[in-house]
Structure 1
Amino acid sequence: MTASPPKQAAECGIWPSPISASVVAAGATALSQPMLDGADIYWLEGRASEGGRTTLMRRRGGVVAEMTPAPFNVRTRVHEYGGAACLVHGGVVYFSHFADNRVYTITDDGAPVALSAGGTRRYADFCLDSVRRRLIAVCEDHSRSSLQPANTLCAIGLDGSETVLVEGADFYAAPRLSPDGRQLAWLSWNHPHMPWEGTELWVANVAPDGSLSDARVIDGDTDVSICQPEWSPEGVLHFVSDRSGHWNLYLMAGSAPQPLCARAAEFATPMWTFGGSMYGFRSEFEIICSYIEDGVSRLAQLSTVSGELRPIEHPYQEIRELRVCGGTIAFLGGAPTIALELARIDLYGKRREILARSIAQLPPVAMLSVPESISYPSAGGRTSHAFYYPPCNAGFEAAPGSLPPLMVIGHGGPTSMASNTLKLATQYWTSRGFAVLDVNYGGSSGFGRAYRDALKGQWGVIDVEDCVAGAQHLAARGLVDPERLVIRGGSAGGLTTLCALTFHDVFKAGASYYGVSDLKGLDSDSHKFESHYTQYLIAPPPEAEALYQLRSPINHAERLKRPMIFFQGLDDKVVPPQQSEVMVEALRRSGVPVAYMTLEGEGHGFRKADSIIATLEAELYFYLRIFGLASGAGAAITIENLPTQ
């Protein structure tokens, strides 16, 4: 066997790497919403090379085909974040087209045909009522220009007619029809709550003409989160509730909910988007489920009689969007050396098959940094969790006596979760000699309700303290250079980044991707779904006013003395551009090095390949310039107020 050549010692941060920004963008195929329809499997793919368009794919008899050719974009903006934009049943496809909000149908390989009027109405989370020849869906009507949109459950007839079935609540999700078509279950909630704070599970009788009667609340409250209602094959309603402190599975036994598997584990994730699923029925007596323990996903068979969990062997540490049909399961799975992929498992033959990969061609394993799951002490006696990625490059190592720069990442949400699934965007940094710490700060999901609620009233405090503590922990262990600590984040993670740089003196630079800088402005500009979220994260009015003043970085720009780079989509409706622009202008006036990149046609999260490439290259260039590791030649972006070196 030929020995590997010795590694070359070099300054961390500038190692040559085959994982370029264009490789990251090319490998950014977003996979979502797997669906099983008999022997056929469908899923959605994002096309960064086509302006972020999402298309529907089908595998039938070993042949993969695209069902929705350009310009069709299978996407919905209900709640702005969308999800569950498509339904397949008996070979017939129903989907929402992003450009006109209309629902279309496709039969076999025919051309899409419009079903609904669209316009100001948006649709998501479809359920087929085949007996009455209609779709039941969540509808969001934006026709009231001066008011927030109206959310309802509606029925869309296959003849194009439309009827409102349920109205009156601020939000609806997950309409699910019983197998006999006689009962409809759904979720609702009202301001100021988010669905992971408190929801109600409703059931109503469905008359032969499709009208509803005897609507009643089955479970839920303002401080209990219910999600993922599903009917068993025999018509028993199941759902997930966090009443015990963890999102666990329940069934309705008579008029009372009964826990199926009491466990300190999460059988659900926050309902930021529609259609999330972590369980399905193999039979009346067996559920296939995934659940999260200590930040890692498990897969198991669950007996509905005994509550016993039997593990199913698989190589993944993250599992999303699990679907079950008889002896077949399909889901999105990932692990530290496996990028997110669509997997199918035959439970009878114990055979696993990969149907689609988010990254077609991975870099050599020797180029990949495998993360370590760490826990460390934070402020107030808390324990925080994170994934630590050491620098890794097959051809290079740190110069003698040197330590790598550290990039700390604060995820969005903030009620979200960092996973250890292979991401080329992370390996882009580690392969160049950066260490990366991906933090699941207090408030993250995946660790139970108490950990999630740790951020209640503490946004901009606990998340920041946990990121600061993580950087200090690694520096104290001698793993990273304490003089080259940077922090980056998007959306809510952008606020974490700004607060860390404004109110703490640990990080030397930072990057904000469409980040929140003005909490009061966020209330004024935010869309309906999140328009009251700060009442949970900060405080209800009028107590919030003083805290907004205290915690909003924009009000303390004179304290921000660290260089920053900002990235902002000009079509962002969640965190509008003025949030970044006001902060950039403040830094300009104060003489702090600052760079600002705007992106046409991008919203909250960047989908286009050109955007992914441009932002990554600019961010790397920015750090190298700040640390004196690059000249101004071939500048990727203009950095204002940067002293001549």
Structure 2
Amino acid sequence: MNEQSGTGSSAHPYGAWPSPVTAEAITAGTVGLSGVTVDGQDVYWVESRPQEEGRSVPVRLLESGRTEDVTPPPFNVRTRVHEYGGRCHAVLDGTVYFSHFLDDRLYRQSPGEAPVPITPALNVRYADPEADITRSRLILVREDHRTEGQEARNELVAIAVAGGNDEGGRVLATGADFYAAPRVSPDGRQLAWTEWNHPNMPWDTTRLMLAEMDEDGGLLNARVVAGGVQESVVEPRWSPDGLLHFVSDRSGWWNLYRLNGETEAIWPMEAEFSVPQWEFGASRYAFLEGGEIVCAYDRAGKTHLAALKRGPAFWTLTPLDVPFRFVADLQPRGSEVLVIGGAPDRQLCVARVSPAGAVEVVRESGTWTLEAASVSLPEATEFPTENGQTAFAFLYRPRLADVRGPDAQLPPLLLLSHGGPTGAAQAVLHPEIQFWTTRGFAVLDVNYGGSSGFGRAFRQRLEGQWGLVDVQDCVNAARFVAARGDVDPARMVITGGSAGGYTTLCALTFHDTFAAGTSHYGVSDVEALAKDTHKFESRYLDGLIGPYPQDRAVYQARSPVHFADRLTRPVAFFQGLEDRVVPPDQARTMYEAVRARGLPTVLVEFEGEGHGFRRAENIRRALEGELMFYGHAFGFTPANVASTLDIQNSAR
């Protein structure tokens, strides 16, 4: 029920509450945070700014506590390796090296100087730079697109920081389909990295490689030291005393290990010490100068921060009492660690954390505020699903100070189906969720089978079952909260982006639980996706559905576009025209099929946007447009909305 249903509050139709959380306020006052980096005593991070057309900017924290932008406009510190990118900058003695999104070249920016390119324009991309200080170079992942009509080639290369890289770098390792996480030992004599081949994804099967480096920087005696079939090894990292550490799920859980003559499990636990490597540069543990390892791990839908310390005979793990339920991007600075953290009542922020758990916030991701009486806090929810199994979700109830819904009515439900499909719902203060709850919607953020954070077996529930297990879990989640009396079963809608968009379209096509839905750059035809997507995911569907074209009939049976005649619900579509992961034709074809059915529908396409929306005006339009679409479906007029929406087959 509505939490604000007491006396003294005024009644407003659900969906039309006078919310102060406007799309304008969200985009004007929020930045994305990533890429925390420490250079000596200096701290850097990267801000993705919707108000600057999504430009990503490294920011330096000064000793005075002020901050300054490192790169001037129009430089955009992003990479398109694997299309999802990730870490693409490094800092050495105050000089920043970075990938510029507009031309894919590497640049050097020394203090007080303009950025200077150190690689030519060659149609290659770079990611995950690691400093090889001994040889004055960077070691990176390079994705080579120079051979037209062929799949891009991924390699490890060395780039001299002084320039002169006419061929785009010296190749150090080649032959595998994918590379990640090159890491140089403290003495500069060894290089570790991970690699894997089609049809595997890095959360399925990877190899941890180790090689010596000769005086010239070439690799010798490269060998596998961990990983293999049905083992995902990620996040190799060297301790200050030269021991190689890594995270492996050989036990069924991503746990922390080290090589000390033989492989040693540091702290076996049914918990996840890493995340699926969609982007480069994940960092969930860090070495402090006192010998502790500060680590973040997921257990029961919550991220914990703890300190591991080696005693005379065994390790000890001490939880840190920090106000965060999500922690990422751990980077050491002496006896403290820098993190990105968030909580149900706190937006993401960059913060310093001491070994004792003291926290100092140095950058908030948002300037927008919401009074505590209007903040909807997540309720951890377990629900039964198919085959006697359980899945998980966070329920956010409608909440706005001094406002309630009409008497004898239940609120509508907005179910969120995350992407990936290995993503995960996180219990942090999301402005977008509060956008809905302060308007009278209940929101259910679902961790369906296949989500990360619950161990390898939970992730593998989707093997061969994509479009079935995820959909059944979302349907069962919605039915569970409706049967419990939390929401109106006649006014439940589903929304999702990318893989979540596919789950949305399957749920609307093959089930009758939801009254409407929205697909943000979602998949409607998995057969077309198998034929037309980028290298990183070009064989992903082998595991999620089956090998193609051998299992073509299964691909067709799981594609909503072929079953539009079953649709009876309104569907909205929002799509970036530069999307290389899910091409725009996926949305256009399904939109036309829905429109031909005579159902209310809309397709909004965004110039200059790829897989996900970064520009403020497009984020606003998508958020407000989705609200307006549900207003049309349920007969309410949203408050504080400036956009317009051209709904086809509108009966109103």
Deviates more, 1:577-586 or 1:625-634: 625-634
How do 1:462-477 and structure 2 match up within 5 A?
462-477=469-484
Instruction: Supply the AA of the counterpart residue of 2:136.
Output: R
Q: Residue 308 of structure 1 aligns to a residue in which SS?
A: strand
Structure 1 contact 287–304 (Cα < 8 Å) conserved: no
1:284: Cα distance to partner? Answer: 7.6
2: distance between equivalents of 1:367 and 1:579?
38
1:449: Cα distance to partner? Answer: 0.5
Q: 1:324 aligns with which of 320, 323, 332?
A: 332
Paired residue for 1:375? 382
1: distance between equivalents of 2:95 and 2:548?
48
Distance 1:515 1:196, change over 3 A: same
Paired residue for 1:132? 135
Q: 2:589 aligns with which of 564, 582, 600?
A: 582
Distance 1:15 1:631, change over 3 A: closer
Q: 1:275 aligns with which of 277, 281, 299?
A: 281
1:459: Cα distance to partner? Answer: 0.5
Paired residue for 1:50? 52
Q: Establish whether residue 291 from structure 1 lines up as the match of residue 297 from structure 2.
A: yes
Paired residue for 2:32? 30
1:23: Cα distance to partner? Answer: 1.1
1: distance between equivalents of 2:606 and 2:95?
37
Which string of whole-angstrom CA distances, capped at 9 and with x for unpartnered residues, describes residues 341-361 of structure 1?
A: 11112337x542111111113
1: distance between equivalents of 2:29 and 2:455?
32
1: distance between equivalents of 2:369 and 2:112?
33
Paired residue for 1:607? 614
2: distance between equivalents of 1:304 and 1:416?
33
2: distance between equivalents of 1:190 and 1:429?
42
Paired residue for 1:7? 9
1: distance between equivalents of 2:344 and 2:638?
34
Distance 1:5 1:471, change over 3 A: closer
Structure 1 contact 74–95 (Cα < 8 Å) conserved: yes
Distance 1:178 1:427, change over 3 A: same
Deviates more, 1:10-19 or 1:339-348: 339-348
1: distance between equivalents of 2:194 and 2:102?
27
1:582: Cα distance to partner? Answer: 0.3
Q: 1:358 aligns with which of 347, 361, 365?
A: 365
1: distance between equivalents of 2:39 and 2:7?
51
How do 1:421-500 and structure 2 match up within 5 A?
421-500=428-507
Q: Residue 135 of structure 2 aligns to a residue in which SS?
A: coil
Paired residue for 2:650? 642
Instruction: Supply the AA of the counterpart residue of 1:258.
Output: E
Deviates more, 1:99-108 or 1:414-423: 99-108
1:635: Cα distance to partner? Answer: 7.2
Q: Establish whether residue 315 from structure 1 lines up as the match of residue 323 from structure 2.
A: yes
Structure 1 contact 456–538 (Cα < 8 Å) conserved: yes
1: distance between equivalents of 2:602 and 2:139?
47
1:437: Cα distance to partner? Answer: 0.2
Mind listing any 5+ residue stretches in structure 2 that lack a counterpart? 1-5
Q: Residue 17 of structure 1 aligns to a residue in which SS?
A: coil
How do 1:517-532 and structure 2 match up within 5 A?
517-532=524-539
Instruction: Supply the AA of the counterpart residue of 2:332.
Output: V
Runs of 4+ displaced beyond 6 Å: 631-635
Which string of whole-angstrom CA distances, capped at 9 and with x for unpartnered residues, describes residues 409-434 of structure 1?
A: 10000011110111111110000000
How do 1:336-415 and structure 2 match up within 5 A?
336-347=344-355, 351-415=358-422
2: distance between equivalents of 1:388 and 1:415?
20
Distance 1:6 1:67, change over 3 A: same
Deviates more, 1:145-154 or 1:276-285: 276-285
Instruction: Supply the AA of the counterpart residue of 2:330.
Output: L
How do 1:91-240 and structure 2 match up within 5 A?
91-160=94-163, 161=165, 162-240=169-247
1: distance between equivalents of 2:612 and 2:112?
32
Q: Establish whether residue 60 from structure 1 lines up as the match of residue 66 from structure 2.
A: no
1: distance between equivalents of 2:209 and 2:310?
22
Q: Establish whether residue 502 from structure 1 lines up as the match of residue 504 from structure 2.
A: no
Mind listing any 5+ residue stretches in structure 1 that lack a counterpart? none
1: distance between equivalents of 2:401 and 2:598?
40
1:100: Cα distance to partner? Answer: 1.0
Paired residue for 2:3? none
Instruction: Supply the AA of the counterpart residue of 1:183.
Output: Q
Instruction: Supply the AA of the counterpart residue of 1:275.
Output: G
Structure 1 contact 67–109 (Cα < 8 Å) conserved: no
Structure 1 contact 252–258 (Cα < 8 Å) conserved: yes
Instruction: Supply the AA of the counterpart residue of 1:353.
Output: E
Structure 1 contact 232–281 (Cα < 8 Å) conserved: yes
Instruction: Supply the AA of the counterpart residue of 2:147.
Output: R
2: distance between equivalents of 1:79 and 1:28?
26
Structure 2 contact 236–246 (Cα < 8 Å) conserved: yes
Structure 1 contact 625–631 (Cα < 8 Å) conserved: no
1: distance between equivalents of 2:25 and 2:290?
46
Structure 1 contact 233–284 (Cα < 8 Å) conserved: no
2: distance between equivalents of 1:310 and 1:43?
27
Deviates more, 1:487-496 or 1:286-295: 286-295
Distance 1:239 1:18, change over 3 A: same
Which string of whole-angstrom CA distances, capped at 9 and with x for unpartnered residues, describes residues 389-423 of structure 1?
A: 00000121121100000000100000111101111
Q: Residue 493 of structure 2 aligns to a residue in which SS?
A: strand
1: distance between equivalents of 2:297 and 2:410?
37
Q: Establish whether residue 549 from structure 1 lines up as the match of residue 551 from structure 2.
A: no
2: distance between equivalents of 1:436 and 1:119?
46
Instruction: Supply the AA of the counterpart residue of 1:585.
Output: E
1: distance between equivalents of 2:384 and 2:502?
22
2: distance between equivalents of 1:167 and 1:355?
41
Instruction: Supply the AA of the counterpart residue of 1:643.
Output: A
Structure 1 contact 39–60 (Cα < 8 Å) conserved: no
1:5: Cα distance to partner? Answer: 8.6
2: distance between equivalents of 1:593 and 1:67?
47
1:283: Cα distance to partner? Answer: 4.0
Paired residue for 1:624? 631
Which string of whole-angstrom CA distances, capped at 9 and with x for unpartnered residues, describes residues 547-591 of structure 1?
A: 111110011111111100000000000000000000011111111
Q: Residue 233 of structure 1 aligns to a residue in which SS?
A: coil
Structure 2 contact 196–202 (Cα < 8 Å) conserved: yes
Count of aligned pairs between the two proteins: 639
1:601: Cα distance to partner? Answer: 0.6
Q: RCO (CA 8 Å, sep 6+): is it higher in 1 or 2? A: 2
TM-score (norm 2): 0.96
1: distance between equivalents of 2:567 and 2:29?
36
Instruction: Supply the AA of the counterpart residue of 1:363.
Output: L
Instruction: Supply the AA of the counterpart residue of 2:133.
Output: S
Structure 2 contact 59–68 (Cα < 8 Å) conserved: yes
Instruction: Supply the AA of the counterpart residue of 1:105.
Output: R
Q: Establish whether residue 257 from structure 1 lines up as the match of residue 263 from structure 2.
A: yes
Which string of whole-angstrom CA distances, capped at 9 and with x for unpartnered residues, describes residues 478-533 of structure 1?
A: 11001100000000000000000000011000000000000011111110000000
1:108: Cα distance to partner? Answer: 2.2
2: distance between equivalents of 1:440 and 1:27?
28
1:324: Cα distance to partner? Answer: 1.3
Q: Residue 331 of structure 1 aligns to a residue in which SS?
A: strand
Structure 1 contact 124–274 (Cα < 8 Å) conserved: yes
TM-score (norm 1): 0.97
Which string of whole-angstrom CA distances, capped at 9 and with x for unpartnered residues, describes residues 232-275 of structure 1?
A: 11111100000000000000121x31100000000000000000
Structure 1 contact 535–544 (Cα < 8 Å) conserved: no
Q: Establish whether residue 70 from structure 1 lines up as the match of residue 68 from structure 2.
A: no
Which string of whole-angstrom CA distances, capped at 9 and with x for unpartnered residues, describes residues 17-75 of structure 1?
A: 11111112123300001111222110000110111000010012123111111111011
